[in-house]
Amino acid sequence: MARRSTLALAVAAASALALGARASATEAERLTRQPAATLLLPYFEVELPKQAGAKPKGRTTVFTIASADASAMLAHVTVWSDLGVPVTAFDVYLTGYDVQTIDLAEVIEGRLPQTASAGQDPTDDVSPQGIASQDINFASCSGILPYPEQLGEDFVAHMRASLTGQASPLFGGECAGLAYDEKRPLARGYVTVDAVNACSLLFADSPGYFLSGGSGIASNLNRLWGDYAYVDRRKKSVRGGPLVAIRADSTDPESSIPGEYTFYGRHVADTAIDNRQPLATNFLGRFVNDARDPYFPGGTELFVWRDSKFPDETPFPCGTTPPWFPLVQEQIVVFDEEENPQVPVLPPVPPLPAENVIPFPAMAQKVRLGSEEFPVLFPRGFVFLNLNTVVLPATSPAEDPAAAQAFVTTSVNGRASSVTQPAVALDSAANAAHTIVPVP
C-alpha cells in the first residue's frame, strides 16, 4: 500500500511538472541549441601554479567560440568571479566561419587570444582569412587588437586574486569571490561571450553597452556557437559539452518590453534593452552515487550557474559576502529508480531538527551529489531542482519576483570517461514554473 501511495505521488509530481512548464512553441525555440548573440560558460575552474608565469600542471577549462556565418564579427569575452563580479574582459575578432580556442589558464596568466581585424592585420598573419570567409576592418579595434603577448604583472595578480577569493589591489584591497581552503588554489567563475559591434573595455552594466535593438556596443547578431572542456592534466581526463546559447530577439515581447525577465536583466535595470532571452528555472538531472556501479563508479557532479538578480556587482570587503548571498531555492527532490522521493536535509536528521540544504549558494559552482553540501541517500535516480527564489533586497523581475533563471549541467563519471550534458530544462524564466512536488 505504501509503495502504491509513493508511486501515485510520483505520477502526480510528473503531471505537475508537465503542467507547470507551460512550454509554448516560442519557449521551446528558446531552449533549442542554435547560434546565438550570447554564449555562457556556466562554470570554470583553473588550478593556478604557485608562482605566476609557471607552467600550469593541473586542471584548466578550455572553451571554443565560432562564427556560424561567412561575415566577419567581433565577440566580447567577460570573465566573472563565482559571485558575479566582472574581473576582466577582452575582444576576439572572428573572420567568417572562424574558430577561436581559449584556455582560461593562459588568460589568467595574462596571455590573451591573438586576433585582429583587417585594419590591424594588413598582412593577414594574426587572423588569416579563409577562402570562404570575410575579413574586414573594425576601426574601433585600432590600438586595442592584437593584444600584447603578455599582460603586466599587476593585472595578472589581480585576476589570480579576484578569482580565488583573495584581496585584489585593483579592487582597492577588496574581494570578488569565495575563498576556499585548498592546497592547490582553484580560480573559479563563469564566462559570457557577446556578439558586439565594436571593440571596448566595457562590462555588461556599462552605459551604452546595451541599447535596444542591438545598437549599442553589444549587437543582436545570433551567430555565435561553441563548446567547452574541463581538462585535468594529471588524470589525463577531459569532459565537456556545448556552451549555453542565449539568443537575442528585439521583436519577442518577452525579451523587449521593460519589466520582462531577460538574461542580462540585473545589469540593465530590468529594461529588457539587452533583448536576451532568459534561461530556465526548473530542471531534471540523472545521477549515479554508487562506487560499485559497473559503469559510473565516479559519482555525479552538478555544474550550476544561477542569477543573483542583484544589480550591485562591485567588489566587497574580504571576509564578507554580497547582500544576496547565499542563493536558496524553492525545492529540491531526489528520486530513486523506484520513484521514491527524498527531500535532502543536513544533519542532524529527524526526529532531531534538520536544516534544508543550500547546495548552490553562489552564481557559479560545482557540487558533488552525496557530499556534505548535497546529501543523497539513493545509489542512483534523478534530481528535481526548482531553483526559483526571491532575492532581497532586489525584487526583480517585477512580473514574478520569485523567478530566478539558472543553468544546470550533470556529469556522471566513470573510471576513464564521463557523460556530461545539460540537465533537462522544464520551463523558461519568462514564464517560470513554480512546481512543488508533493512529498510526504
What pLDDT does 11 receive?
35
Residue 229's CB is within 10 A of a number of other CB atoms, namely 16
The yes-or-no verdict on residue 9 having pLDDT over 80 is: no
The yes-or-no verdict on residue 241 having pLDDT over 80 is: yes
For 7-11, 166-170, 418-422, which range has the lowest pLDDT when averaged over its residues?
7-11
What pLDDT does 17 receive?
42
Task: List pLDDT tens digits, range 66-85.
Answer: 999 999 999 999 999 999 99
The yes-or-no verdict on residue 396 having pLDDT over 90 is: no
Mean pLDDT of 419-438: 94
3-state DSSP call for residue 106? Answer: helix
What pLDDT does 214 receive?
97
Q: Hunting for cell 553540501 — which residue is that? A: 373
Report the share of the chain in percent with pLDDT over 90. Answer: 79
CB 312 within 8 A of CB 318: no
pLDDT bracket for residue 349 (50, 70, 90): low
Average pLDDT across the chain, whole number:
90
What pLDDT does 350 receive?
59
CB 62 within 8 A of CB 99: no
Name residue 125's amino acid: D
CA–CA separation, 17 and 382 (whole Å): 14
pTM: 0.91
pLDDT bracket for residue 311 (50, 70, 90): confident
Mean pLDDT of 88-106: 98
pLDDT bracket for residue 246 (50, 70, 90): very high
What pLDDT does 358 receive?
93
CA–CA separation, 48 and 55 (whole Å): 9
CA–CA separation, 84 and 243 (whole Å): 18
* DSSP for 166-211, written as a single string: --BGGGTTBB-S-----SS-EEEEEEEEEEESS-----TTSTTT--
What pLDDT does 197 receive?
98
CA–CA separation, 440 and 346 (whole Å): 18
What pLDDT does 58 receive?
87
Mean pLDDT of 151-170: 97
What pLDDT does 228 receive?
98
CB 435 within 8 A of CB 426: yes
CA–CA separation, 9 and 275 (whole Å): 40
The yes-or-no verdict on residue 19 having pLDDT over 70 is: no
What pLDDT does 32 receive?
60
CB 74 within 8 A of CB 141: yes
Q: How far is CA 379 from the centre of its chain?
A: 28
What pLDDT does 351 receive?
56
What pLDDT does 401 receive?
93
